[in-house]
Amino acid sequence: MPYICPICQSPLRQHLPSQGYYCQNKHHFDRAKEGYLNLLPVQFKKSREPGDSRVMMRARRNFLEAGYYQPLAQAIAALIDSHRTKDQPMHILDMGCGEGYYSRQIETLCRSPEQLDLHGIDIAKNAILAAAKKQPNARFIVASNKRMPYADHFFDLILRVYAPSHDAEIDRLLKTGGLLLLVTPGPRHLWQLKKFIYREVKEHSVKIDLPEGFKQIESQRLGYTISPDQEQRMALLQMTPFAWRAKGEAQSNIQRAKGLKIETDFIVTLAIKS
């Protein structure tokens, strides 16, 4: 089994009659009817509902499903396909998966999806619930990226799209020769949105910090222009780390701007664990 107990780190076994999971120390975790597993014990929570709020989750889902980041999803799927071993299963983890958009895209766009064992982890229960409903072929859990309750060296590839992470956990979960696929903002990502918020707009750094023992094997920069409508602009803003800096006037200006075109700029990096 891929899971370990979040309390004592013993392997979790599935109890078939109840569909729940238990460890040798009798810690038990029920599987929700939607198919996900909640491995975030209450003592590990810093708030009642950690992670993104339902409003933020809805905004992100509506924006992503409108297809604005579809070229990024295609680039991710192409990289995965180009580094797969033919006719071999591949265990993939989507860190900070949210509602599972990229996991669904991987299943849709990659060749031989039946050979992909897709997993997603997020601390937001509502997001995982939505992901599990939409993609029954994948396995989603509620848990923190700081304490990922998976067995050592289980995954062949870890996908991290902007999500925070701990290098030691990534190293622990990936097999030797495993792949880390990172998506980080390029220098001019969402430049036009930032101009409404900051007096002086600065470019993102292009420096990619890899965990110790990882070597970059491929990198590509992907950029294009999008023209979201008023509602979708506000959804995009809520997805960004600078949303909290956008006060009422800035938000109003973003929403009312006519014919606003926004640059996207992604850096997609693939590294291998030696």
Question: Measured between alpha carbons, how far is 26 from 94 in angstroms, rounded to an integer?
Answer: 28
Question: Regarding the domain with residue range 46-273, which homologous superfamily does it belong to in the CATH classification?
Answer: Vaccinia Virus protein VP39 (3.40.50.150)
Q: What is the pLDDT of residue 49?
A: 67
The pLDDT score that the predictor gives to residue 246 is 84
| Residue 257: DSSP 8-state | -
- Domains of the chain, by residue range, sit at 46-273
The confidence score (pLDDT) of residue 238 equals 86
Q: What is the model's pLDDT at position 47?
A: 56
Give the pLDDT of residue 184.
95
DSSP state of 49: S
pLDDT value of residue 41: 85
Q: What was the pLDDT predicted at 86? A: 83
Per-residue CA distances from 121 to 31, 51, 113, 260, 265 (Å): 15, 12, 19, 34, 25
Do residues 70 and 102 touch, judged by C-beta distance below 8 A? no
Q: What is the pLDDT of residue 241?
A: 82
In the prediction, which pLDDT does 51 show?
60
Of 149, 135, 114, 140, nearest in space to 40 by CA: 149
CA dist., res. 92 & res. 105, Å (int): 13
For the chain, list residues with pLDDT below 70: 17-18, 43-52
Work out the number of other CB atoms within 10 angstroms of the CB of residue 268: 20
Q: What are the structure tokens assigned to 37, written together?
A: 């597993």
pLDDT at 25: 96
Can you give the pLDDT at residue 50?
59
User: Environment class of residue 162 by beta-carbon count within 10 Å: exposed (0-12), middle (13-18) or buried (19+)?
Assistant: middle
* C-alpha span between 193 and 251 (Å, rounded): 10
- State pTM to two decimals: 0.93
| pLDDT value for 44 | 61
